[in-house]
A and B are shown apart, each in its own frame.
Chain A
Amino acid sequence: MEYLIVGNSAAAVGAIESIRRIDQKGNLAVVSNEQEHVYSRPLIAHYLAGDVTEDRMPYRPEDFYQKHRVKTYLGRTVTEVDSLAEQVCLEDGSTLKYDRLLLTTGSKVNVPPIPGCEEFEGVGIFQTYQDARQIMDRLKKGNRAVVIGAGLIGLRAAYGLEEAGAEVTLVELLPRIASRVLDQKGSELVRKGLEEGGVNVITGCSVREINGNSSDGVTGITLDNGEKIDCSIVIIATGVAPNTALAENTLIEVNMGIVVNPFFQTSFSNIFAAGDVAETHDIPRQSGMVNANWPNAYEQGRYAGMCMAGEMQRYPGSVGMNSVSFYNMPVISMGLFDPESEGIEGTEVKVRISEKNNIYQKLVFKDNRLKGAILIGDISYAGAINNLIREQSLVGIIKDSILEEKYQLYDYLRKKREADMEGTTIEWPETHSSTRRYEKSFNEESWTERELDNRAWR
């Protein structure tokens, strides 16, 4: 059996590990257009910031490919998938045969048509290890940087540059930052945190032009209100889209990403797709969606690998989720967190805000099920909330009390699993009110918050 994997990141590693667990004999090969040993792309911001040194960048140990007996074609680009001849063509004309093909090509950055964005040195995207290294080199020439686009990649880049000692300006076209991963209130809080950390944020403004000359590279940008910002680095992070180039002009069905069934098969039963490029079932929305993030990519790769090796296991679906931490402020968003902007009706929203402690928590319910959440500052229940979204279990009574710390969510889940195992169900009363104040001192997490607040700890 010839397994071929295109791409070399989270989904590919997940697939390699699960294929080798089932099939020890088949030939396994990986093609990637990057030279690097497998590394973690979200880590490049930490690499830039200096939190992580070069020797800690590999995602798996040095002997990973030998141990799993993987033949690697690194630094080679796949130009075409020939699904009839069951082979892929590389850029130098050679071909690789496959019996099972997995496409994990990830995302590509959408570069907007800004004048000057391709001519000058110092203008780049922030996606690969190589990009981060180039930015590190460029930082020696001057430490003023502009990040265009304030999505998660833009925020990470801005954080990394700021920690590396640069003076960073973040320019966003939309009126608020991180509009794809946070709601209005959440993005205000994150913006506040970033500004306190030293990042200059400009919203509601687009870039008219990137200025520069051939000797120094980029020298500055001009905003559409005429304002000029001097800089020596420009990072373009205006959004990503699934990199479906290989599937286009073939019979593989492409919608937002490559459409796959619960066994990760595309339109061809021996071509699989997983990771940021695949459009899978989204649990809270109950529809197909590309959920591009690291945990989903690895998990999808793992399931796809099992299906490729013949152990067909149905993928339950994914939940869009993201977790980042800026200046000690943890930010998590999951599922369907902003129903107003998506135009979904019939939702119920519970919010807990503590401005003083930078805490903002929001839960979105629909039809007595938890659909999404935003947790900023206090993420102590994140795992249990994620589990509630993933399982889509009825919440009933705990709806009112998840955020109020009166009821212990984990205990509810514990009971639910116990009931599941016994084959019974828990029937909660529709409404419930507790008059008893929850004693906060019993909660380990709140002790920590209290101590960080420099209050006396008893």
Chain B
Amino acid sequence: MAVRQKQIYCRPTLCIGCRICANACALTHEGEANPRLGRIGIRQNLFERYEYQELCRHCDEPPCLDACMVGCIEKDEKTGIVTNDDRCVGCWMCVMVCPYGSMKRNLVKQMAVKCDQCKDLDGPVCVEACPTGALVYEDREDEPEKPFFTGPSVT
């Protein structure tokens, strides 16, 4: 039975690609303002000129959990948040199976890192930091997955 949970959604029309979310994320989790280390990745579609986010969906049946050979990826039964811990040995099995590209590699520590929705804080810092309000953290009742894929309106 799938857990209803609050998710970080993005509204691509509002995103300006400033990477402040990634910076805030890296600063919170790694102590370093470096967008490469952020758990939220921003890529750009150059054909249609807009930015979009690679972000963990906290799947109901996470492929990364299946793949982790260390057993360090867990899905919390109550909150539904998928987390990993520092037992990671950097085999990149999770990177290999995540279809959303949201398992990030910290190449300095040789560890996989992923979004934990800032479960120890009041709310996700990326949402808090977003200057345009493109990122929102809410519990949407219907169409749980669709908002991730909403493209921009043609301007």
Pick the most buried of B96, B101, B105: most chain A CB atoms within 10 A of its CB.
B96
Within 8 Å by CB of A332, from B41, B54, B96, lies: B96
- Minimum Cβ distance to chain B for residue A338 (Å): 18
Is A42 part of the contact surface with B, judged by Cβ < 8 Å?
yes
Closest to A324 in B: B91
Cα separation A43 to B93 with both chains bound (whole Å):
13
Question: CB-CB < 8 A to B96: which residues of A?
Answer: 295, 321, 323, 332, 334, 379, 382-383, 386
Interface class of chain A by DSSP: helix
Among B64-72, B119-127, B128-136, the stretch in contact with A: B64-72
Closest to B87 in A: A56
Residue pair A417, B149 in contact (C-beta under 8 Å): yes
Is A328 part of the contact surface with B, judged by Cβ < 8 Å?
yes
Residue pair A452, B69 in contact (C-beta under 8 Å): no
Residue pair A325, B44 in contact (C-beta under 8 Å): no
Cα separation A386 to B93 with both chains bound (whole Å):
11
Interface string of B3-32 (1 = CB under 8 A from A): 000000000000000000010000000000
Residue pair A408, B43 in contact (C-beta under 8 Å): yes
Cα separation A58 to B71 with both chains bound (whole Å):
8
Cα separation A387 to B61 with both chains bound (whole Å):
15
Residue pair A418, B54 in contact (C-beta under 8 Å): no
Interface string of B87-108 (1 = CB under 8 A from A): 1011111011111110101010
Could you list 14 examples of A-B contacts with CB < 8 Å?
A: A51-B89, A295-B97, A323-B92, A330-B92, A332-B92, A379-B96, A383-B100, A410-B100, A411-B45, A414-B149, A415-B149, A443-B43, A444-B41, A444-B43
What residues make up the interface of B, taking CB atoms closer than 8 Å to A?
22, 35-36, 41-47, 52, 54, 61, 63, 66-67, 69-71, 87, 89-93, 95-101, 103, 105, 107, 110, 145-146, 148-151
Q: Give 18 new A-B contacts, CB below 8 A, not counting A43-B70, A328-B107, A334-B96.
A: A40-B69, A42-B91, A43-B89, A46-B89, A294-B69, A298-B66, A330-B92, A332-B92, A379-B96, A408-B46, A410-B43, A411-B45, A414-B149, A417-B149, A418-B149, A418-B150, A421-B149, A442-B43
